[in-house]
Structure 1
Amino acid sequence: MEKAIEFLLNRFPALRNRLDEHMLEVINGAAVALVLKVLGAGLTFLFNLVLARALGAEGAGLYFLALTVTTIATVFGRMGLDNTLLRFTAASASVNDWSAVKSVYMKGMKLALIASFLSAVMVFVFAPVLTDKVFQKPELIVPMRWMSLAVVPMTFVILHAQVLKGLKRIRDSFIVFGVGVPAISLTALLLLGGRYGVKGAVWAYASGAIIAGLSGVILWYVATPQLRKVSTSLRTNDLLKSSMPLFWVASLNTMINWMATFALGVWGTKEEVGLFSMASRTAMLTSLILTSVNSISAPKFAELYKKKDMTALGATARNTAKLMTLISSPLLFLFLIAPQWVMGLFGGEFRKGGILLSILAIGQFVNVATGSVGNLLMMSGNEKLMRNNVALVAVMSILLSVVLVPIYGSLGAVIATAVCLSLQNLIAAYMVKSSLGINTLSWR
């Protein structure tokens, strides 16, 4: 991939002259990430396709409700440590402070193990209350309890993906999270899904999480042989001081992303949950380039901010926003002109979700066009600004979901989701401009 990019830059020297060393590093890393991300997205899409065709809209709805609860539990298990570990690892590794890297890793993983185990126990114990009293779907209790087994391994999958990013091991990071989980889950689903229904789909996901989590631990130790000879130095309080604001950011972000699904579980039907969930995951393909660029831009932002090179930081942020917008445009166009055809790939009963896909895709496009503004805030020590932004949008998400979902069902859910996603990133872009003096929306 690097050779291909080098070939293009040699063919177009004017383009090379417009890119500094930091942007070239972002492009090289993002290209690798994009290839793996596309592979992972394709596997995830196939997983959802097999899931939808095997279980139908109602069965998929039950699966995604169980996944929603597990995802929320995983957020509590991470304690906001994912972005903290990324930030500290990237900043410390850039100056070869391996003692700090080891301290962050060891203390972060110990805290996450305790918190994620407690979260998994809570899901298992309170599953009857959630399924009977909240969702009023008693048939959900068995899938939810099996899904609780994925809380601890998924916590470790996400955290190891982040620390590997901090070392700029982009390939390893995406193998663990972007490719490993969907690849293993898809294989297991093909073997179990049709025979065991929703329970089989849950087993497939849990299997992917467990195997990918173990892979993440192995890849970390392979990547860091130098850590065996250094001692730890970072205090736990220093780690928690950064992670607590980010914990609230992650928690509130999860509320924003999953509030509509949760509301549909309470006021909607299993079919509406299935339609909305499939449309939401398909629309997220629009932001595929965003997650690919973020994988390398986040540690680069942390590095440049630590070095106080604000000129390079601003240029890198603006150029990545341009790059992401241009690449995402064709997919958005497809979701706007042929949404029924795209949703019909999951089965005839999903075609009615075409309008849901179009609305969600617009929200995702705004997310891409504003650039990596969330990462800019978090990697520059402005965790509290990001927390305040997300808190405001989370309140709006609750209000919109409570008002719109009971009346309009899945259509109300997508409107609430798209509005909140767009607003969150526009506010973050304003915060980046006011606090760092960087305008990611400027194409000049």
Structure 2
Amino acid sequence: MSSSQLDGTDDPVVIVGMALEAPGGIETADDYWSLLSERREALGHFPADRDWSIRELLDGSRRDGFKRIHDLGGFLSSGALFDPAFFGISPREAVAMDPQQRIALRIAWRTLENSGINPDDLAGHDVGCYVGASGLEYGPQLAEFSHHSGHLITGTSLGVISGRIAYTLDLAGPALTVDTSCSSALAAFHVAVQALRSGDCDMALAGGVCVMGSPGYFVEFSKQHALSDDGHCRPYSASASGTIWAEGAGMFLLQRRSRAVSDGRHILAEVRATAVNQDGRTTGLTAPSGHAQTRLFQKAIRSAGVRPEEVGMIEGHGTGTRLGDRTELRSLAQTYGSSAPGTGAVLGSVKSNVGHAQAAAGALGLAKVLIAADRGAVPASLHTDHASREINWEEQGLRLATELTPWPAVNGQRIAAVSAFGMSGTNAHAIVAMPDDEVA
């Protein structure tokens, strides 16, 4: 077998379907684009239907050693909604299921429908399922005797998030839940791409999901002084002061190009490269490594077979924390910086609109890229009146997305990079090329 056959360049992996759910009631690509292009922020007050002690949470963050928690976050309005009968699940079992299982199952179904596939037709086929997710304290402890005992062991298992999809749809390919913290979705996407290239499956669902069962992450980041000063996420801004937590889900259907063409699928994007690596030992377990990120970005560029200046859009991780943004900006500038001022890639982060969706962050970022390419424009990141001073933007060639920016096709395609990293130390990066339908 030739090297080109091994790395997939003869028959690349392509994206043929997509579905998403984001804060603000976003459930379609059109809704998502409206949110992004109209420069709206989809943050809201803490949900009142989850038995969270909100007043205690807000008051508790005022004690010594903590940073104030604001009553703002990016929460899914659909987080508690689910039709168990549609999927053949009893109401008692449905309540015992982590909402992440419910939403992942629902969004997998919608992704297949978006691809023109009747999910029932996949029974017994080698379809893989790769979902990025993290455990977020849903429901009672397993040791508690409750009405839901007997269903909790599957209802709260991370592994069952992907397994539930495979079981319900009777899929015979691999089913893996990937937890690398905030890079989980993009890491799962990477594993799915590799699985298709190696022949582990003929088709793959890949993405990520996040629904918070408790406000615990707000408390932890309050103690670490890594929450935003005012409850708004300001990626790559000089006024960035911390992140704001959110929820979301995004999923994609992947195939080899030859199979997609044979099946008559509409190709949304070609996956030019994916890569993951690890920070190793840094100044702290959760501290990012600029060296590791630079190595990863440059490895992905080489694997993609593109020049850095061909990348027109970068959807960064962009947590809005000073350390995270500084590290990422310097690494991106080293890799994607253009020698011609004003011509480099346009950089932004959807976290400015919806907050930090944790394990689903990379999925929402990739969905933004696909939709932006379809519209031929890069939407502005919010709260970027004054760009971060950590890099010299003009000299280092990146452009911050401060307004809706036209994104013309070059040689019949638009190329973008998507990045994610997590407190696990795992960095993930993807480079995708979207065909211009008017040219194709």
Instruction: Please give the TM-score of this superposition, normalised by the length of structure 2.
Output: 0.31
Q: Which has the higher strand share?
A: 2
Instruction: Please give the TM-score of this superposition, normalised by the length of structure 1.
Output: 0.31
